[in-house]
Copies of this chain bind each other. A is one copy, B any other.
Amino acid sequence: MPPKDHESHRRWSLTIKINPPELKDNTADAQRLALALASRLGGGSVRIGLPLLRQLPSVLRSSGYHVTCVVFKEEANWVLVSVKAHTDHHPLLGLAVDLGTTRVVFRLMDIEEGQSYGELSFDNPQIVIGPDILTRIHYTERQGGLSDIQALIVNGFNEHIVRITADAGFRPHDIQLMAVAGNTAMTHLFLGIEPRNIIREPYIPAVNKPGVFKASELGLKVHDEARLYVFPNIGSYFGGDLLAGIVFSKIHRNQELSILVDVGTNAEVVLGNSDFLVACAGAAGPALEGGVSSIGMMAGPGAIDRVGLDDHGRLTIHTLDEKMPVGICGSGFIDLAAMLFMTGAIDIRGRIVRDNGKVKVKVMDDMNHLIIVDAESSGTGEDIAISQASLDSLIRSKAAMFTILETLCLNVGLSLFDLSIFYVAGTFGSYIDPKSAITIGMIPDLPLETYKTLGNSSLGGAAMVLADRDLIAEVDSLRDSITYVELNVDQGFMNRFSGAKFLPHTNPDLFPSVKIP
């Protein structure tokens, strides 16, 4: 079997043959290897730590000075992670991680070939402390709270590392490189770094560029010398998950003007192309994720995820796993609002129309509700009904989202109509039907083909870093090149927000494709 060489792929692994020492060339083993590696890596210095220095003399000699090395980036330089005889086909694995507040997703990868061996996702074990970041950060302020909460996530990692490696026929020790993308708060909680100032004015993270660590420093049970890259952040509210998403989208490499939006309770947005990038983050409220309504739920069996209209203008629903409906998830809620508007069950201000004849209205707790599914067809035995308050909340959220997008564009003298590509990032975003989101005026009225979903772009970006040794430097320079814009909630913003609180907007010229009923 010929030695694997991935020079053309710029992998983190290199197979290299060096000249054996002789009396006339008595450079030490370590410097001999470091020089040869640096030359293949195109410059920089290669640091060889103590554990590798201890292995080097025998590995070099027993392999005939023909070895496969794994390197990683350490600041501007390289660090040697492992060295083995080139004939040793022991696996060299990487683990890409999307470190979400709610879910953690692993992708196991081959460092030499770059391909995936599979994925595994699990609930963030810190959920036992609290589902949201705020509760968790407050918990760290108790005595021992930070180390407790860090242990939860590290133990969760270790447990699932055993599982994902076993599923693919490997061992945890085979993992030599890791790349972790998470929001700023989760990154702090994972590293055991005090996060309290993230949520207190002036909202300062402890660290913007965590960089590269030994996995063992964090208590991760992988290869002894494994290194872990943690994506940088731009601030407390623009985290490494988004930077990973940008890397995955490649908007920073393309000339076309693109926008990338992570839709959720916080809307994080980046706008630009290969010439410039501006970013902002703002609160859109939980309504977009279905988290306010009494019938709102996470995507799961029985969740209404799609809502349409039949020929008579009556609602049709689709549920996940085709189960009896029990609630509505975020993407379903956006669909629902769009359909209610199209069928005339709510008006331009989102008010429930009592006698539209398409959707039944009932009053509970002195408030109008629209019955989406009646008790007979429901999986709960009760009506599934949406309240005026939930609709109001959704409209505020969609208005906030649109205003954030509009404001960021205005900030650089552009219009939303100038956008060539609109990337929707994040798992939740990928379920949103752009047509519905346009109908309610949450996103701009661009041709539907402008919208592209990226899926788990955070995981995708992390995986890219493990497959290409040039990317860490690219991420770092990308981070530094982004201009973060503080969204000032000034009069201009408030005026635009007021205009956006209509369906689809107070200015119909902005939504020519939406035919107001």
Contact = CB atoms under 8 A, between A and B. Distances in A.
Interface stretch (A203-211, A323-331, A387-395): A203-211
B30 A201 contact: no
Interface residues on A, range: 35 or more
A28 B77 contact: no
A313 interface: no
Main secondary structure of the interface of A (DSSP, over half): loop
Interface string A206-219: 11111101000110
A208 B233 CA distance: 38
A29 B197 CA distance: 10
Contacts of A47: 75, 211
A193 B76 contact: no
Give the most central of A21, A49, A206: most B CB within 10 Å.
A206
Contact of A208 (B28, B45, B54, B57): B28
Interface string A417-455: 000000000000000000000000000000000000000
B202 A26 contact: yes
A58 interface: yes
B203 A53 contact: no
A192 interface: yes
A235 interface: yes
A287 interface: no
Contacts of A53: 191, 193, 206-207, 210
| Copies in the assembly, this chain | 2
A236 interface: yes
A415 interface: no
Interface string A228-243: 0000010110000000
A45 B197 CA distance: 24
A128 interface: no
A271 to B, nearest CB: 20
Contacts of A75: 45, 47, 77
Contact of A202 (B22, B192, B201, B218): B22
A486 interface: yes
A50 interface: yes
A23 interface: yes
A66 interface: no
Given A76-B45, A193-B53, A205 B23 contact: no
Interface of A: 21-23, 26-31, 45, 47-50, 53-54, 56-58, 61, 75-77, 191-194, 196-197, 201-211, 213, 217-218, 233, 235-236, 486
7 contacts: A22-B202, A30-B206, A30-B207, A49-B213, A50-B192, A50-B213, A54-B193
Given A22-B202, A53-B210, 5 more contacts: A23-B201, A27-B204, A47-B211, A49-B213, A77-B77
